[in-house]
């Protein structure tokens, strides 16, 4: 609709997307295009590129799904580790403060 703004992803997400896209393009091009003497791709090269890109996109989706499923557990473990290290640092501070000589 008119007047609505499309949300723009953060630059880091755009950069990551472009890195993946460029890597995929390079891999599929090297795998599928064998003759640079012609301006257009052959039918065989086009089919190969479609198949290659599709395979990489499906693999990326599977990896992202697995990552998203594991992410809550990873974040919980990080939070627990952070809390434990903060408690340990606080305990060391308290011990150092009580061991300081008083005048």
Structure confidence by residue, pLDDT tens digits, 2-31: 667 767 667 888 888 899 899 999 999 999
Given 1.10.287.810, 3.10.350.10, 3.40.50.2000, 1.10.357.10, which CATH number is that of 11-82? 1.10.287.810
* pTM, rounded to two decimals: 0.56
What pLDDT is recorded for position 14? 86
pLDDT tens profile 43-69: 999 999 999 999 999 998 998 899 889
What dihedral do alpha carbons 12, 86, 68, 10 form, nearest 10°?
A: -20
| 51-64 burial: b if 16+ Cβ within 10 Å, else e | ebbeebeeeeeeee
First to last CA, the chain: 75
Q: How is the chain split into domains, by residue range?
A: 11-82
Longest dimension (CA), the chain: 89
Residue 86 CA to residue 39 CA, distance in Å, equals 62
């Amino acid at each position: 609709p008119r007047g609505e703004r499309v949300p723009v992803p953060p630059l880091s997400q755009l950069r990551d997307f472009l890195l993946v896209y460029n890597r995929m393009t390079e891999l599929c091009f090297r795998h599928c295009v064998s003759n640079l003497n012609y301006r257009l791709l052959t039918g065989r090269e086009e089919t190969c590129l479609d198949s290659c890109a599709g395979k990489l996109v499906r693999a990326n989706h599977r990896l992202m799904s697995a990552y998203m499923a594991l992410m809550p557990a990873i974040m919980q473990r990080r939070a627990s580790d952070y809390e434990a290290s903060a408690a340990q640092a606080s305990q060391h501070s308290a011990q150092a403060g009580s061991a300081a000589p008083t005048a």
